[in-house]
Every structure is written in structure tokens, then in C-alpha cells.
């Protein structure tokens, strides 16, 4: 007879969203940071898609869009660490 393997332990989610965010390891501030990064990334992709036909203008707008996309990626990866010092200040 085969033995069943437990892949995950049961988790009580009766607390609602706070329990869910604890299980994925994200706080409310981290979720807001990821949301802001996603909005900035969408703006950067929109900037990339609306490049002009003028080579100089396209190069300038393209480099600005890539810089904006870079900021969005850095914010998504390290935003919680960057802003944790602001929220946990002690007086």
C-alpha cells in the first residue's frame, strides 16, 4: 500500500488578508511597493511602444524609457528594504 506524502501543512486563513500576506511573506507596505513598481513598469513599456520616427528623438525617448524600466525593476526587487528604514525610525 502506498503512503501519501504531505506536500504542505494546513494553514488557518480565518484572519483574512493578514494571514494570506503572512504566508507569502509580504507586508502591506511591500505590497504597495510592488504595486508602484508595476505601475512604473507599465508606464516605461508604454514609453517604449510610443517611440517617434526621428532617430535622435527615438534614442532620447528610448533611453528614458529604459531608465524608467530599470528604476521599476530595482524598486520591485529592493523596494521593501529601501523603505523599511523610513517606516521603522525610532525617536
Q: What's the pTM value of the predicted model, to 2 decimals?
A: 0.58
pLDDT of residue 12: 72
CB 37 within 8 A of CB 82: no
pLDDT of residue 26: 65
Cα separation, 36 vs 12, in Å, equals 30
Residue 35, CA distances (Å) to 3, 30, 38, 50 in order: 43, 9, 5, 23
pLDDT of residue 24: 66
Q: How confident is the model at residue 88 (pLDDT cuts 50, 70, 90)?
A: low
From 17, 13, 39, select the one nearest 28 (Cα to Cα). 17
Q: Which of 23-27, 41-45, 68-72, 80-84 has the lowest mean pLDDT?
A: 23-27
Residue 19, CA distances (Å) to 11, 22, 56, 60 in order: 9, 5, 51, 46
Amino acid at each position: 500500500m502506498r503512503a501519501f506524502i504531505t506536500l504542505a501543512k494546513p494553514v488557518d486563513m480565518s484572519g483574512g488578508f493578514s494571514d494570506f500576506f503572512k504566508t507569502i511573506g509580504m507586508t502591506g507596505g511591500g505590497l504597495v511597493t510592488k504595486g508602484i513598481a508595476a505601475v512604473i513598469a507599465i508606464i516605461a513599456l508604454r514609453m517604449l511602444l510610443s517611440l517617434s520616427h526621428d532617430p535622435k528623438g527615438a534614442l532620447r525617448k528610448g533611453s528614458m524609457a529604459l531608465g524608467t524600466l530599470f528604476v521599476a525593476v530595482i524598486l520591485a526587487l529592493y523596494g521593501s528594504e529601501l523603505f523599511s528604514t523610513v517606516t521603522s525610525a525610532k525617536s
